[in-house]
Amino acid sequence: MRIRHRLALQFTLLSGIILLIIFALVYLLSAQYVRQVFYRQLEDRALITAQVHLEKDELTKKKFREIQKKYMQSIPDERSNIYNENNQPVFVESSVNIQPDVLQTIRQQQLHRFVYEGQAAVGLYYKDNQGNYVIVVTARNIAGVEQLIHLAWILAATFSLGLLLIFLIGQWYAKRSLMPINRINREVKSIRASNLHLRVHRGRNKDEIDELASNFNELLERLEKSFATQQSFVSNASHELRTPLTAIITELEVVLQRDRNNAEYLQTLRSVLNESEKLQAITDGLLELTKADAGEWYAHREDIRLDELLWELKAEWQERYPAQHLDVEFGKMPEDAAALVVSGNRQLLALAIRNIIKNAFKFSGLQPVKCRLECDNGYILIAIADTGVGIEEEDMERIFLPLFRADNARVFPGFGIGLSLSQKIIHAHGGLVTVESKPGIGSTFNISFTISAGI
């Protein structure tokens, strides 16, 4: 069942229950009112009966005729009787035979309402100079019952018509309310992999539907970026993998064209080995990226002092690469050294910073690289600056894509995996890596962590 129909039915059901309760109260209150009016009418009839039969000698002729005229206007199925102090009927003869205990109750209460043989009855205790009497009047409230039946028919018809109108209005209102969702559904259906740049139209109301459209747009934006990243990755991976494969195939085809001496075979094998090692490096890097995406590295955590980590990297460079000068500087430092601690995997974080430093040396022709550490405004900042070829503005957003290499970087060895891997590791440690660069002047990679950040 469609939501529009379900909402209309639920709305009709709830409204029907409310109307049923209201109409039931109206009917019950009306029935109570009719009953009270009829009992008051019977009380008047009892009093008139007493005056006609007991006060005739004490009333003026005009007054008596007025009372007698009212008395003649009887109620349908009206029966009455007057009982003396001995519970004997007097003056009026009828079939109203009231039990003595009921008559005694009337004397005690002065006025008593009760039911006699399915009819409403009123007992009145009347004191007269001739004695004390009990007047009993019974009648059937035919007019009241007809009024209640008529009211019940009116309420039933109103209830049925009301439910029909409520259902139709509910259908219209639900359809109108769900129009933005139907529009979103139509727009989402029209979006394919080829037009992920399209976005869902957002309404002017700041409501849940607008929030849904906003979430769809954010999802589409992420999908668009993911598709662009995937396409770039496939394109770059194909290029990087094809280059060594082409070299291997070419070498083998050339060497197989004719017989060659051992030296030429060895030279060809060394060339094939070199290209195969490139292939292995690329596949190993892609495997590392896959592990980073899967989060397989981050099970072992420890506290890492960033200042100590940088000193370790400086010592490593001095020992392994004496010709490469890594200058480590410290800016504003916190009074508490614990502010420089990051929770995570020490080897991975060192690998991420090492990759950025290695790139700084590579793209600057082994010129000195500055690494500055400072802590301020709740952030720990590591800035790695070089004086290399720099990065073009149109390539700034793509340098962290796997296997992407800018045009001015293709003359340098590498496969475009290091920066992507470093970014994933730094993000996993709660950090952020950004870059500032000017072509021909150099680049600065900024790695920032919030204090007490971790995986």
Residue 92: per-residue pLDDT: 61
pLDDT digits over 275-333, tens only? 787 677 667 666 665 665 555 555 567 888 888 999 999 998 888 888 889 999 998 88
Residue 169: per-residue pLDDT: 87
pLDDT digits over 340-397, tens only? 888 888 888 888 898 899 888 888 888 999 999 998 878 899 999 998 888 888 888 7
* Higher-pLDDT residue of 36, 351: 36
Structure tokens at 395: 């390539």
Residue 278: per-residue pLDDT: 66
Residue 248: per-residue pLDDT: 81
* Higher-pLDDT residue of 135, 414: 135
- Mean pLDDT over 226-239 rounds to 63
pLDDT digits over 45-101, tens only? 888 777 777 665 555 545 545 554 555 556 777 888 888 888 888 866 566 778 889
Residue 239: per-residue pLDDT: 58
- Mean pLDDT over 169-179 rounds to 79
Residue 382: per-residue pLDDT: 92
Residue 61: per-residue pLDDT: 47
Residues above pLDDT 90, as percent of the chain: 16
Q: Which domains does the chain have, with CATH numbers?
A: 3-147 (3.30.450), 208-294 (1.10.287.130), 302-450 (3.30.565.10)
| Confidence band, pLDDT 50/70/90 cuts, at residue 454 | very low
Q: Is the pLDDT of residue 255 over 90?
A: no
pLDDT digits over 129-162, tens only? 778 888 888 888 888 889 999 999 999 999 999 8
Mean pLDDT of the chain: 80
pLDDT digits over 420-429, tens only? 878 888 888 8
Residue 420: per-residue pLDDT: 80
